[in-house]
Structure 1
Amino acid sequence: MGDRVAIKARIAVGIALSIAVGAGCAHQNENRFVALDNVASTQDEWRFERTRGFKLTTEHYDIYTTIEEPRLLTSLPQAMETCYAYYQRLLPNVTPGGERMTVYIFAKRREWERFTQRRFPERAPLLLQIRNGGYSLDRIAVAQYVTHAITFPIIAHEGLHQFLELNVSNRVPAWLNEGLAVECEGQKWTMDGLREFDPWHNPARRNQLAEVLQRNEQTPLRELLRISAGHVVGGTSRGIAAYYGQVWMLQRFLSAGQDGKYAAEYQRMIDAIGSQDLDALAQAGAISGGGSISPGEGLFRAFFAEDLDTIETEYVDFMKNYALGGKRPGDDKPWWEKLGE
């Protein structure tokens, strides 16, 4: 989650997230990513202090957990490997370096707290402020299991940060890093496990953003490009909701808004992650913009028109059409009128 008080921690604030659980066959399109089938894994016993647990090993993950519920243990390998495949689809030019992804998922809050205190004693006072969430720090991801609806989106969110930390040497600006991570929260499940990723599907974030927009409390675009999650954590719940909702919608706007006006440049920027020097691009964008410009705004200007006022007007209209009007680009009526179709 960006630059958080000068540490590498990626903290997912535990705001309740909603997952649609339903049956049916999902067709993969430019937005959705269908979950993997038949994920191979092994299960070995593991202990955390005196608590019995398991180590689940998959192609890319070492998952350590004190969860014992059989259905959850079965769901984890499939969900995590689908996350990995989705990260690779989102970031096609990021070449994994071969280091395995290490994830800890604790069944109880006190286990999560004890692990955090032992592993990160200096960071623990900050990390323990997380109520229902997780973090990624020093190349591992750690989460407390609460419910499917809260925990699995958080794991996917933190995993994206972990994936970038392990495989990308350049710093990815917070608005882009966090926006992509929130897109990974969009998941749909069935009783058999993860069904698909859909970056549009995030009812909790959408509803929180709608409240922010109704109050006209959205963060101005230039400020959004400058700040990181560290600037809002510890603030009001609406401020936190505004940040995550807006960086999520910024990805959706750039990739699909204005009839695709910015889509090509957005994809070019995504393709630059892992293949180009993002710091150099940000510096070039800052120079072209003149004055004192943050690295986040510099990278934005390197790919998109420098008339940020026009872009901001379009962006805010886009957010209102989706969060308040219920319409994705191309929709002729809001989502609630399509229920049952």
Structure 2
Amino acid sequence: MRAPSLILLLLTLSGCASESNPFIASNSPDQRTQSTPLQSRPTLSVVLSTEPWTFGTSTGSIIRTPSYRLFTTTTRPILLSRVPVFLESSLTHYRSAFVQLPPPPIKLDTYLMQTRPEWANLTRLLMQRRAPVYLQIERGGFAAEGRGIYRDLGSLNDTLNIAAHEGWHQYTQLAFRHRLPIALEEGIASYMEGFRWDPNQPEKPIFLPWANPERFDQLRLAADSQALLSLPELLSTTPQQLIAVDQNKALTWYAQVWTLIHFLNEGDQGAHADDLRRLLLDSATGTRNSISRSAGQSLSQAALFTKAFHASPSALDASYQNFIRQITRPGMRSAIIAGRSPLDSSTH
């Protein structure tokens, strides 16, 4: 399994926090402005302006797009050309993959540093007393307080996989009025990772949520070794708890929450898809308050899941486990590599 999947285990430790920490640096940017409405297909010419930016002794640029301010010290042409398009395309995907979701209220500040020392210094500046937790990440990035803080990992696709995953957290931190249960939040972030480059427009990503062989391989490995978590276990456990005792089990947790979103979207002949869309909309707009709180207390993940999907995790577990068996049958990896659903009749 490649390194980013391991990195993502650490990202949930504190990546969804909401403490305020002002950014202070040379050429500190102006106040963020309202982002633009949803566009169905962003064009390749998404850059509105570019201006110099200095971070410590490093020089770079601020690249402005309709929905992002990208602060970067990278000098790699492929990153400078592809990252702005990728970020805008990712946001379009976040907002349309399941149901049309609202735009973020302000532009999304995203940092792409060229080296780990630069990334570490930026992390210390932005996260202050909480920085030590994030500095445990050896190779990757994180989202916190509506900011994405990444570095060049050397591999273009590895860097963008992190941006796609953490970008979902960045978006929901700003645009959602209520948090999703952690299993669904992390599951959707993992769902957003899969993409391929458009052969006709090489700078444009095509998002294919099934195209995630790392998650699939971990799922199949756990299934073959009878190490899968039940749905109640999945919803009552956090990756923080697992990573402290069994990193492989934490990887399985991520693979299973990725699968859970596919199950809720496609499983049981689509029986749960409308409930998933409704939960996303309700969480974004704030109307989830009517189902997420009882007698003034927040419900557990399992209780919220039960209210949202009209069935308890225990009641849906057999169907969920059967879904896993279906998609991990021999020969199904070819569908994953192609970015197709293993349930698609054309893959059989």
Does the alignment reach a TM-score above 0.5? yes
Q: Does 1:188 align with 2:196?
A: yes
Q: Which residue of 2 aligns with 1:176?
A: 184
SS at match of 1:141: strand
The 5 A counterparts of 1:134-173 are: 134-146=141-153, 147-173=155-181
Instruction: Work out the CA distance in 1 between the residues paired with 2:106 and 2:255.
Output: 31
Query: What TM-score comes out, normalization by structure 1 length?
Result: 0.80
Larger RCO (CA under 8 A, 6+ residues apart)? 1
> 2:324 is matched by which residue type in structure 1?
M
Q: Does 1:252 align with 2:262?
A: yes
SS at match of 1:172: coil
Q: Which residue of 2 aligns with 1:28?
A: none
> Contact 1:3/1:230 (CA < 8 Å) preserved in 2?
no
Instruction: Work out the CA distance in 2 between the residues paired with 1:133 and 1:144.
Output: 7
CA shift for structure 1 position 324: 4.3
> 2:242 is matched by which residue type in structure 1?
V
Runs ≥4 residues deviating over 4 A: 1-7, 33-36
SS at match of 2:328: helix
Instruction: Work out the CA distance in 2 between the residues paired with 1:250 and 1:265.
Output: 13
Distance of aligned partners of 1:6 and 1:116 in 2 relative to their CA distance in 1, 3 Å threshold: closer
Q: Which residue of 2 aligns with 1:123?
A: 130
* Structure 1: gaps spanning 5 or more residues: 11-32, 335-341
> 2:73 is matched by which residue type in structure 1?
T
The 5 A counterparts of 1:37-52 are: 37-52=44-59
Q: Does 1:300 align with 2:300?
A: no
Deviates more, 1:37-46 or 1:208-217: 37-46
Instruction: Work out the CA distance in 1 between the residues paired with 2:57 and 2:221.
Output: 45
Instruction: Work out the CA distance in 1 between the residues paired with 2:298 and 2:311.
Output: 12
CA shift for structure 1 position 50: 0.9
* Equivalent residues, number: 307
**Cα deviation digits, residues 203-243 of structure 1 (max 9, x gap):** 11111121122222222211212333333344433122111
The 5 A counterparts of 1:211-290 are: 211-283=221-293
> Contact 2:89/2:205 (CA < 8 Å) preserved in 1?
no
Distance of aligned partners of 1:221 and 1:120 in 2 relative to their CA distance in 1, 3 Å threshold: same
Q: Does 1:64 align with 2:71?
A: yes
SS at match of 1:123: helix
> 2:323 is matched by which residue type in structure 1?
F
Q: Does 1:311 align with 2:325?
A: no
> Contact 1:65/1:107 (CA < 8 Å) preserved in 2?
yes
Q: Which residue of 2 aligns with 1:206?
A: 216
Instruction: Work out the CA distance in 1 between the residues paired with 2:178 and 2:317.
Output: 27
CA shift for structure 1 position 34: 6.7
Instruction: Give aligned-pair identity as a percent.
Output: 25
> 2:313 is matched by which residue type in structure 1?
L
> 1:138 is matched by which residue type in structure 2?
E
SS at match of 1:120: helix
**Cα deviation digits, residues 66-105 of structure 1 (max 9, x gap):** 1111121010111011011111113645433531100011
Instruction: Work out the CA distance in 2 between the residues paired with 1:322 and 1:272.
Output: 30
Instruction: Work out the CA distance in 1 between the residues paired with 2:315 and 2:64.
Output: 49
> Contact 2:305/2:312 (CA < 8 Å) preserved in 1?
no
Instruction: Work out the CA distance in 2 between the residues paired with 1:92 and 1:129.
Output: 35
Instruction: Work out the CA distance in 1 between the residues paired with 2:120 and 2:260.
Output: 34
Deviates more, 1:156-165 or 1:232-241: 232-241
